[in-house]
Amino acid sequence: MIKHLLCALALSWTVAASCQAQTVDLDKATIAQLRAAMDAGQLTSERLVRLSLARMDAYDDKGPQINAVITRNPRALAEARALDAELKAKGRRSPLHGIPVVLKDNFDTADLATTGGSIFLEGSIPPDDAFLVKKLREAGAVILAKVNLSEFASGGAYSSLGGQTRNPHDLLRSPLGSSGGTGAAIAAGYAPLGLGTDTGGSVRWPAAANGIVGLRPTHGLLSRDGIIPLSLSFDTAGPLARNVSDVAVALGLLAGVDPADPATAKSQGRAQTDYTPYLKADALKGVRIGVARDFMGQDAEFDWVMEASIAVMKAAGATIVDVRLPRWLIESKGEFYSAVRMSEFPVQLQAYLATLKPGYPRTLDEMIERSYRLPAPRPDGAGPNATRWSLLRREQASVALTDPAYTAVRDQALPLVVAALDGVFTANRLDAIIYPPLAERPELISRTGGTRAATPGGGASSGTNLASLSGFPELVVPAGFTTDQLPVGLSFIGRAFDEGKILGIGYAFEQATQARRQPVHTPPLKGEALSIGARKP
């Protein structure tokens, strides 16, 4: 009898232990953990949306005034409640069912204004959702808000409509552009997932500056239909999140062919519906990593984080190879980028403007003319964006798409860049190339107005336009901090459609370093500790 009693007690203790919930801070919870808690009835989409809105209330307009949000979705709570009811009645649509998402305000949303951050498009309701927004809604995601950006996705983290966004790690510094609102919002915990766009570095810079994960996917893996264009030869959407696994979840749901975007034909048979199987803690073992030291040497503390990251990868079983990129590529990449991007914007923007309702400008010339009517801020704070509006005149004066100065770069130089980078991968038998996407601290807002990212393609000191020119994928993962507590990111470049490989490598690096930290200016709020993993009795 005593033996049976002891067995019964042991069984009861085992059952009790297995029923205990794991307490996870909202800031550290992955989408997979949130999803499991929802499926188990321990969390609702409505509660998650309320927690997100509470962080916006506390940190965006008040408190540190991050100023990342342009427009909130007034129906977000109602949509969350409907998705909770659907989950109970029918089950979940996807891993994103009931998950809040923020969108850079250059993604078309048929129920919310899409402005590009510009007064010129204030209040513009596009005819329908962007292709990726449709996919998010079909997956059951809750579109929580449209967030600030560099106006028309070029320049610093400032727009005439949204003003200046601040870095939640250091309020005196920029979160960088052009997806600065998305980067700051994710770092500040407004949502687990955000979408940005990247032409010359606009997902990767904010990811690095805000201490989060960001992916510029292979050109053509994600549709650009319904996104305000900057330069379609380089433009791509890209997910930002607090961890690699959330980026992988989003990518699998968004990737694929869209007949409305011819570039996505390249992804036929190469896009995958689930990238999470690549996420293995030992994915660094046996891989060969090339180090592009051409972009180091600008800040000793950033270089130290790079060397520490290399040591971590070696310890995890990776082979490290120093690579030198061709000198002509380093010297010419900025000029190649500018030659294409500056000429494409006026023409491609005009095609987008033609889809809008009457009353909005139809050409770049008309926008420039309207800019001269607003020499001072309005009472609500919206006002001139002199740096970006001056750039409009440079874009206006760029050569036509039939000019040899454009066509020679598009048709000859860009394939040459692809061949050169492929050659580096092949010659060194590399799985990825690493470098610092930012090699020095983000600029002080007071010193430059947050405009450094206006430099076409990031300038000679940045390597981000390598992926832009080649169309190769690039993943940014938090790697460490400076002594003044600013995040340092690490980039992993892969070959075309090697997203699974670089996500796996990035995940293994993330698990080994655990380098991300919640920003000091957006700490936990009351009620954000979540019980995850408890079983119903």
Mean pLDDT, residues 33-39 taken together: 96
DSSP state of 409: I
Nearest-CA neighbor of 367 among 355, 381, 384, 379? Answer: 384
Give the span between the Cα atoms of 211 and 187, in whole angstroms: 7
Active-site annotation holder among 45, 52, 104, 146 = 104
d(CA 428, CA 420): 12
Which two structure tokens, joined as six digits, stand for 95?
């891993």
List, in sequence order, every beta strand (DSSP E) within 246-343: 288-292, 319-323
Question: Cα separation of 499 and 277, whole Å?
Answer: 12
Q: What is the pLDDT of residues 63-100, one digit of tens each?
A: 999 999 999 999 999 999 999 999 999 999 999 999 99
453/443 Cα distance (integer angstroms): 10
CA–CA distances in Å: residue 66 to residues 62, 119, 166, 171: 8, 20, 5, 8
Which DSSP category does 316 fall into?
T
Q: Which residues fall within 8 angstroms of residue 108, CB to CB, at 6 or more apart?
A: 114, 126, 127, 128, 129, 130, 133, 226, 227, 228
> Do residues 70 and 181 lie in contact, with contact meaning Cβ atoms separated by under 8 Å?
yes
- Catalytic residue selected from 124, 202, 245, 309: 202
- Output 128-131 pairs: Cβ under 8 A, ≥24 positions apart: 128/226, 129/226, 130/223, 130/225, 130/226, 130/227, 131/223, 131/225, 131/226, 131/258, 131/260, 131/261
Amino acid making up residue 336: F
pLDDT digits (tens, 9 = 90+) for 469-489: 999 999 999 999 999 999 999
Cα 437 to Cα 296: distance, rounded to the nearest angstrom: 10
- Confidence at residue 13, expressed as pLDDT on a 0 to 100 scale: 34
Query: Residue 103 — φ and ψ, nearest 5°?
Result: -120, 135
Q: Which tokens in the block code for residue 182?
A: 């998305």
Structure tokens at 15: 């059952």
Q: Are 80 and 48 in contact (CB under 8 A)?
A: yes
Predicted local confidence at residue 533, as pLDDT: 75
- Tell me the chain's radius of gyration from C-alpha atoms: 23
Q: Is the pLDDT reported for residue 12 higher than 60? A: no
- Distance between CA atoms of residues 267 and 316, nearest Å: 32
Helix intervals (H) in 195-324: 204-210, 244-254, 300-315
Other Cβ atoms within 10 Å of 57 Cβ, number: 12
Which position has the token pair 């993943």?
475
Residues 288-343: tens digit of each pLDDT: 999 999 999 999 999 999 999 999 999 999 999 999 999 999 999 999 999 999 99
Instruction: Map tokens 């427009």 to a residue.
Output: 71
**Mean pLDDT score across all residues of the chain:** 93
Per-residue tokens: 320: 């490290």
Cα separation, 247 vs 286, whole angstroms: 24
For residue 458, the model assigns a pLDDT of 46
What percentage of the chain carries pLDDT values higher than 90? 91
Distance CA 532, CA 23 (A): 6
pLDDT reported for residue 532: 83
C-alpha 141, offset from chain centre: 17
Q: Ramachandran region of residue 268, left (φ > 0), alpha (ψ -120 to 50) or beta?
A: beta
Torsion sign (Cα): 412, 473, 337, 402: positive
The token pair that represents 204 in the structure block: 């990767």
Question: pLDDT tens digits for 373-423?
Answer: 999 999 999 999 999 999 999 999 999 999 999 999 999 999 999 999 999
| Structure tokens belonging to residue 318 | 């990776």
* Residue 202 annotated to the active site: yes
Q: How confident is the model at residue 461 (pLDDT cuts 50, 70, 90)?
A: confident
Residue 288's beta-bridge partner residues? 319
pLDDT digits (tens, 9 = 90+) for 247-291: 999 999 999 999 999 999 999 999 999 999 999 999 999 999 999
Burial class (CB in 10 A: 0-12, 13-18, 19+), 378: exposed
Angle (CA) 203 205 210, round 5° = 95
Q: What is the Cα–Cα distance from 502 to 520, expressed in whole angstroms? A: 29
- Residue 412, CA distances (Å) to 147, 327, 409, 416 in order: 37, 18, 5, 6
The half-sphere exposure of 476 on its side-chain side, counting CA atoms within 13 A, is: 34
Rounded to two decimals, the pTM is 0.95
Taken in order of first residue, the domains within the chain and their CATH numbers are 22-532 (3.90.1300.10)
pLDDT in tens, 144-158: 999 999 999 999 999
Is the pLDDT score of 163 beyond 50? Answer: yes
Catalytic residue among 52, 178, 179, 462: 178
SS3 102: strand
| pLDDT tens per residue, range 105-149 | 999 999 999 999 999 999 999 999 999 999 999 999 999 999 999
pLDDT score of 535: 52
- Single-letter amino acid, residue 408: A
Q: What is the pLDDT of residues 502-521, one digit of tens each?
A: 999 999 999 999 999 999 99
In sequence order, the β-bridge partners of residue 432 are 289
pLDDT at 446 over 60: yes
Quote the CA–CA distance of 391 and 345 in Å, as a whole number.
Answer: 11
